[in-house]
């Protein structure tokens, strides 16, 4: 039986090497841009900011710059960016960078047109879960990494104190997204791996989520296949544009998976880790917990794990279903080796091993909803154990 589904993805996506130049001919959704970039140096160093502002100049769009976004982006910067947009009369947001920048751009777009505090609209943790009264500013998302899929989904994940919580609805899709693999060749090896695994887990979680449907499943399997094949190449040959293209494409369709299906509790746990320990990159949190996370589902969703093993290139013919399911765990470990992240663990980033239960509780309190999408309910003990094994 097929799960019923509704498909809605209103972002216009320009994909391909050089796609940023499409902004020269595209009808832009505003007259003045708030350009949002990270506090890091790469957007300036690699000339991406100049490229963007050059294009804006060519098409006669003035802009203001907000350049403070952190790798695990925080609410204070959302509020500050929104205040700048309001003060300077920006009527669209152009976010240039990785997932944290684009997510922040979306959240800034919400707060630029709405009253109160961003956490008024967040569900989970101390968020008030109020409806957003006004339409956010339009967002142009230009992704320079292949990791979050945020260019093809409505989600934005922001941290407030120790609460790192995802938010999104029909109004928070980008209006226009640019996925240009030429802007990704400068991503360093470890970040390429972290981001690529993030895209992998959007696909695998979307595949095992209870709300998966034929559309999301097809995209999940394709993304898993492409990441299994091309991520090690992109990690080990950063200038290989073909590998960058395939990983970028896999990441974008993994974004569709997040839109049409959803992540599961693996993301709740990873967000809790980075919420409490902002130095843990999102992808690194996921990589660290991934083996123990999927092991917890062995014997419960073996048919699905077997299909994902096949997508990672395992020949499962002749195997029993439980053997095939276990082969997914082995294939995951092997992919980690190929990408040089097999030794990664949470203590590398200063996570206190005694905090496993505290992290698990945070995951339930902030993004408990994703646990409901697991096909097997994880107990508090099991969740704590997954985190402990990642230390
Ligand atoms: Zn993610």
88 secondary structure, DSSP code: H
What spacing in Å lies between the alpha carbon of 160 and ligand 1's midpoint?
Answer: 18
Same fold across 12-183 and 189-389: no
DSSP type of residue 23: G
- pLDDT at site 217: 97
pLDDT, tens only, 82-107:
999 999 999 999 999 999 999 999 99
Q: How far is the CA of 171 from the centre of ligand 1 (A)?
A: 20
Q: What pLDDT does residue 38 have?
A: 97
Distance (angstroms) between ligand 1 centre and the Cα of 267 equals 6
Cα of 258 to ligand 1 centre, how many Å? 9
Task: Find the Cα–Cα–Cα–Cα dihedral 324, 377, 342, 222, rounded to 10°.
Answer: 60
Task: For the chain, give every domain's residue range.
Answer: 12-183, 189-389
Residue 55 Cα to ligand 1 middle (Å): 30
Taking the centre of ligand 1 as the mean of its atom positions, its distance from the CA of residue 341, in whole angstroms, is 17
Pull the structure tokens for residue 222: 């394709």
pLDDT, residue 335, reads 98
Tell how far the Cα of 385 is from the centroid of ligand 1, in angstroms: 21
Residue 170 pLDDT: 96
> Which parts of the chain register pLDDT below 70?
none
* Cα-to-centroid distance, 330 and ligand 1 (Å): 22
b/e for 56-68, b at 16 or more Cβ within 10 A?
A: beeeebebbebbb
Domain spanning 189-389: CATH superfamily: Dehydroquinate synthase-like - alpha domain (1.20.1090.10)
CA distances from residue 29 to 22, 33, 59, 176, 335 in whole angstroms, order as listed:
14, 9, 12, 9, 41
Going from the Cα of 25 to the center of ligand 1, the distance in angstroms, rounded, reads: 32
Q: Which pLDDT score, from 0 to 100, does residue 172 have?
A: 97
CATH topology of domain 12-183: Rossmann fold (3.40.50)
Tell me, what DSSP letter sits at residue 365? Answer: H
Model pLDDT, residue 2: 77
Neighbours of ion ligand 1 (CB under 5 A): 198
Write phi, then psi, for 164 (nearest 5 degrees). Answer: -110, 110
Q: Quote the ligand 1 centre to 116 CA distance (angstroms).
A: 27
**pLDDT at residue number 1:** 72
| Model confidence pTM above 0.85 | yes
Annotate 140-153 with DSSP letters as a single string. Answer: EEEESSSSS-GGGS
Q: What's the CA-to-centroid distance between 248 and ligand 1, angstroms?
A: 14
R_g of the chain, CA atoms, integer Å: 20
């Amino acid at each position: 039986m097929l799960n019923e589904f509704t498909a809605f993805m209103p972002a216009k996506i320009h994909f391909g090497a050089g796609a940023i130049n499409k902004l020269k001919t595209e009808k832009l959704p505003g007259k003045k841009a708030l350009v949002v970039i990270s506090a890091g140096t790469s957007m300036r160093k690699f000339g991406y900011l100049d490229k963007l502002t050059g294009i804006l100049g060519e098409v006669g769009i003035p802009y203001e710059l907000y350049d403070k976004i952190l790798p695990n982006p925080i609410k204070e910067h959302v509020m500050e960016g929104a205040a700048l947009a309001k003060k300077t009369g920006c009527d669209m947001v152009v976010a240039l960078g990785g997932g944290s920048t684009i997510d922040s751009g979306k959240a800034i777009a919400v707060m630029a047109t709405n009253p109160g505090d961003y956490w008024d609209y967040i569900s989970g943790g101390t968020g008030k879960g109020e409806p957003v009264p006004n339409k956010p500013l339009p967002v142009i998302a230009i992704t320079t990494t292949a990791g979050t899929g945020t260019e093809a989904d409505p989600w934005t994940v922001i941290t407030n104190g120790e609460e790192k919580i995802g938010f999104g609805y029909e109004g928070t899709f980008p209006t226009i997204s640019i996925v240009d693999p030429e802007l990704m060749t400068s991503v360093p090896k470890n970040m390429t791996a972290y981001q690529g695994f993030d895209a992998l887990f959007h696909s695998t979680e979307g595949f095992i989520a209870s709300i998966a449907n034929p559309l999301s499943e097809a995209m999940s399997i394709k993304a898993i296949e492409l990441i299994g094949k091309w991520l090690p190449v992109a990690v080990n040959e950063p200038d290989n544009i073909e590998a960058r293209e395939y990983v970028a494409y896999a990441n974008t369709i993994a974004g569709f998976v997040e839109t049409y299906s959803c992540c599961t509790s693996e993301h709740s746990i990873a967000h809790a880790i980075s919420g409490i320990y902002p130095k843990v990159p999102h992808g690194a949190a996921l990589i660290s917990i991934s083996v123990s996370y999927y092991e917890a589902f062995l014997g419960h969703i073996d048919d699905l794990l077997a299909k994902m093993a096949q997508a990672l290139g395992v020949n499962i013919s002749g195997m029993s279903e439980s053997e095939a399911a276990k082969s997914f765990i082995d294939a995951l470990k092997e992919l980690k080796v190929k990408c040089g992240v097999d030794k990664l663990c949470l203590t590398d980033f200063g996570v206190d091993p005694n905090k496993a239960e505290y992290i698990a509780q945070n995951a339930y309190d902030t993004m408990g909803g994703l646990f409901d999408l697991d096909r097997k309910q994880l107990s508090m003990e099991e969740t704590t154990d997954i985190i402990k094994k990642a230390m």
